Chain A
C-alpha cells in the first residue's frame, strides 16, 4: 500500500501522488496548481508560470519556474 505513490508514478502515469496534490500550492502566489499531463508540469494559472516535475519529483523553487507565453505554450525564461 505504501509503495503506491511510487507505483503510481511509474505505471499509472500520474504526475504526482495524492498527498502532494492535496497540499501543494504555487510557491509565489500560494494559489492552487493545475497538473499538466502533456508537459509533465504543475501550472500556476494566476501568475502564468509552470514548474517542472523531474523524475517524479515536483520542483517548486521559483528559479525553476518557466513563464508561459500568453497563448498558453511554455517557453524558457532566463
Chain B
C-alpha cells in the first residue's frame, strides 16, 4: 500500500491576499539566506526568509494592483515584477534597498506572465504580450529596446497569448519562444527572424500554462479542461503531440518542471497540487492542503539537492512549502 502523501514542510501566512506568483532564490552560497518572493493580489511583493519563515521585506510598487509575475534577474538583488497596473518593474534590492530602478509600461491589459531569458552577462530578453490582441513583443533588458514583435498571420485567430516561455538550446544558439494562446494552440517562434516555426493545437480550451524541457525537447501544457498535453519538438523544429494525460478535475493554473527534470508539479483549480514523473508522466502524488484554487507552483533552486523545496501559492492566501522527492 502506498504511503499517504506528505504534509507541507511549512506554510507561510501573512500575505492577506491571494497569492498569484512565486519565485525562489536559494542558490546563493552561505551565508546567504534562502528567499522566496511572492506576489499577491493586493499589489505587494513579499520577500520571505525561508529560515525564519517570516516576511523579510514587503515591496509595494504596483499601486495595489495584483502582481502576477515575479522573477529574479541573476541573483536576489535584482527583481522583476509584473502587475495589473500595466507595469513591469525592475527592483534593486541589494543592501536592503527596496527601490524601483526602472519600469516598462505594458500596453497589454491581461494576465499573461512575461518570460525572461538571460542571453549574456547583464543582458536579458523578455517576452511579454503586446498591445495588439495576438501579438507578443520581445524586449531586451535592461536597455528596454524592442527586439521584435511576433505577430501571427492574419486570420490565425489564436486569441490572446496566455503564457510564454523563452528558451535557447545552449548559450550560443538562437533564442526561441513558446507561446500558448487562447484558442488552445502552442506556437514556436524564432525570435531573430520573428517567424513562427510551428503551431500545434494542444487543447480545446485556452492554454493556461506551459513549461518546456530543452534537453529532451519535450514540453507540457495545461488548460482549463481536464487534459494535460505533452508535446515534443523534433529536429525540424516541429511540434508534435507526444501524449495526453487526463486529470480527475478540470483546470490547471500553472505547471513547472523541476530544474533536474525529474518531476513536475501542476497547480490545480481543484485546490490540489499534482506531482508527476517527467519521464513518463507517471502520477506520483496529489498534495491536498489548500482550500482555494492554487495559482502558482514553483521549485526552488537550492544547490544542495536535499534541501530542494516546492512552493504553491493559492487563493486561500497561503503559501505551502513542501519537500518532496528531494532525495532522488
A and B associate in one complex: no
Residues of A within 8 A of B (CB): none
| Residues on B facing A (Cβ under 8 Å) | none
